[in-house]
Amino acid sequence: MFNKRIKIKQLLSQEPDSQEVTVMGWVRSFRNNQFIALNDGSTNNNLQIVAELGKFNEALLKRITTSVSLKVTGLAIPSLGKGQKLEVKANTIEILGDSDAEKYPLQPKKHSLEFLREIAHLRFRTNTFGAVFRVRHALAYAVHHFFNDKGFVYLHTPVITASDAEGAGEMFRVTTLPAGNPPRTEDGSINYKEDFFGRATNLTVSGQLEGELGATALGEIYTFGPTFRAENSNTPRHLAEFWMIEPEMAFCDLEDNINLAEEFIKYIIRYAIEHNREDLEFLAQRLADEEKQLPQDKRSELGLLEKLDFVLNNNFERITYTQAIAILLQSPAYKKKKFQYEVKWGIDMQSEHERYLVEKHFKKPVIVTDYPLGIKAFYMRQNDDGKTVAAMDILAPGIGEIVGGSQREERLDKLEQRMKEMHVPAEELWWYLDTRRFGTVPHAGFGLGFERMVQFVTGMSNIRDAIAFPRTPGSAEF
Ligand code: ATP
Ligand code: MN
């Protein structure tokens, strides 16, 4: 009977009433042959189990080492020890699974995040990753909560796609053709007609195009699923497999889109603060300790929780791309030649530029709108100036771009003209263009990278620590 157990989180929230309880979990530490710190993943707080001296046989006690799994029954009594109001005085202790203390890689001491990445299968058992993944869960739950309350339909867009016209990033090919000796056409190229789907297919880089098909009938949809980009960029902000949330709304312009994105980000942060306060307090302390190693000028001005509160209580700054470039050109950083990359109207802003705007100039999240036509995707709505499109990026302190979105080009002639200019094959996207042929409407949407959001809320500086099993160039263990 496993379902008689009480989770430690729940037990610790109760008054000690001397009733018998059953708990299960993994041993974090065992002191003085008497005090077991038990953790079951429901909270970072360990439950103290007291094994009264003389009550249990020595052979059993010897087997209780870090990471051994236990079933314990006992009385929930007031604790005399510091830091907890309740402990369990054990009546029975059953070992569910032994563990070889010599071989167990996680010792009760501080391990580096790099080391923990190498043992990602066990890092859930640390306080840091316990907190990160509970917060990640809360954020994911809040995403569904937010959109459900607004009447959006959760649409599952395909993971395997044949459209390679989105231009969002390099794709991973999906094929069942023999790697060494694929069938060839007469001109020597690989003959995908003989492939599984009868054509070349890839893992999706974004569900947006399919999302638009849903939105232009269901009204408002969102996706929340894995996306894949074979970008060979080894940065602390890029994964080859990441989760993206992509709402798409009919009857919506750029401003509505921005308002929704800001409301959405604040909602999910607030949800995590309200439901995972203890985990966030732990992560805030972890970050503060980590930053103590840094020189003064590299440390954050605000602690993690203050930063989140600040984001909740202030409007995001809204500027156009043209204004952003003007600010950069006026900046001391530019004048002192601190930027590595060129600054002029028309550039795709580099992360150093985005960070300057967010971290040095405005010191808060910034929404940049109306980017040059030439650096953005074909489906973004052309502005009347003939030079810019109704695009928006949201930049967050410490992270950079967290959201990318736009109002979509709903005018068939403009869209077709842009596709021609950008060599996007219109024949392949006939289904996409049909939305503009049969009752087209103004519509807009955005994509939020979920791991970047998790990074922002948990304060983890490397995106590899915001997802359970990171996929990055050269690394797909576990
Ligand atoms: P970046 O310039 O940072 O590479 P992008 O312009 O390629 O981002 P979009 O194509 O607009 O990004 O994707 C939407 C969102 O998905 C981004 O705002 C970001 O939050 C997230 N994202 C994009 N690429 C990655 C990646 N490789 N790993 C994790 N998240 C990503
Ligand atoms: Mn990118």
Please tell me whether residues 345 and 274 are part of one structural domain: yes
* Ligand 2 midpoint to CA 236 (Å): 12
Phi, psi of 208 (to 5 degrees): -60, -50
| Domain containing residue 80 | 8-97
Q: What DSSP designation does 198 have?
A: S
Please check whether residue 197 lies inside any domain of the structure. no
Residue of 232, 244, 248, 457 best suited for mutating to test ligand 1, as the one with most atoms within 8 Å of CB: 244
Ligand 1 contact via 170 beta carbon (within 6 Å): no
Please tell me whether residues 219 and 340 are part of one structural domain: yes
Residue 210 buriedness (CB in 10 A; 0-12 / 13-18 / 19+): buried
pLDDT in tens, 62-85: 999 999 999 999 999 999 888 889
Please tell me whether residues 131 and 64 are part of one structural domain: no
pLDDT in tens, 226-261: 999 998 888 999 999 999 999 999 999 999 999 999
Nearest CA to ligand 1 atom 26: 238
* Ligand 2 midpoint to CA 169 (Å): 6
Phi, psi of 277 (to 5 degrees): -55, -45
Is the pLDDT score of 1 beyond 80? no
Nearest CA to ligand 1 atom 22: 449
Kindly report the CATH number assigned to the domain that includes residue 84.
Answer: 2.40.50.140
Ligand 1 contact via 404 beta carbon (within 6 Å): yes
- Amino acid, single-letter form, for residue 267: Y
Please tell me whether residues 42 and 147 are part of one structural domain: no
Which residues fall within 8 angstroms of residue 262, CB to CB, at 6 or more apart?
A: 315, 316, 367, 394
Largest separation between any pair of C-alpha atoms in the chain: 86
Q: Which two tokens stand for residue 306?
A: 């203050």
Ligand 1 contact via 401 beta carbon (within 6 Å): yes
Please tell me whether residues 286 and 410 are part of one structural domain: yes
Please tell me whether residues 140 and 45 are part of one structural domain: no
Q: Bridge partners of 20?
A: 75
Please tell me whether residues 19 and 80 are part of one structural domain: yes
What are the C-alpha distances in Å from 381 to residues 9, 248, 428?
A: 50, 14, 20
Kindly report the CATH number assigned to the domain that includes residue 159.
Answer: 3.30.930.10
Percentages of the chain per state (helix, strand, coil), in multiples of 5: 35, 25, 40
The pTM of the full predicted model, rounded to 2 decimals, is: 0.96
Is the pLDDT score of 167 beyond 70? no
Please check whether residue 346 lies inside any domain of the structure. yes
Ligand 1 contact via 449 beta carbon (within 6 Å): yes
Please tell me whether residues 251 and 332 are part of one structural domain: yes
Confidence of residue 300 (pLDDT cuts 50, 70, 90): confident
Ligand 1 contact via 266 beta carbon (within 6 Å): no
Please check whether residue 435 lies inside any domain of the structure. yes
Count of domains for the chain: 2
Ligand 1 contact via 459 beta carbon (within 6 Å): no
Task: Judge contact between 415 and 436, C-beta under 8 A.
Answer: yes
DSSP tally for the chain: helices H, then strands E: 14, 16
Q: Which residue has the tokens 């002191």?
A: 31
Please check whether residue 115 lies inside any domain of the structure. no
Q: Are strands 317-320 and 366-372 parallel, antiparallel or unpaired?
A: parallel
Please tell me whether residues 221 and 296 are part of one structural domain: yes
Ligand 1 contact via 405 beta carbon (within 6 Å): no
Q: What DSSP designation does 316 have?
A: P
Residue of 233, 238, 258 best suited for mutating to test ligand 1, as the one with most atoms within 8 Å of CB: 238
Mean pLDDT on 268-276: 98
Please check whether residue 52 lies inside any domain of the structure. yes
Q: What DSSP designation does 443 have?
A: E
Q: Which two tokens stand for residue 267?
A: 């909602």
Nearest CA to ligand 1 atom 23: 449
Please tell me whether residues 455 and 365 are part of one structural domain: yes
Q: What DSSP designation does 469 have?
A: S
> Rounded distance, CA 241 to CA 230, Å?
8
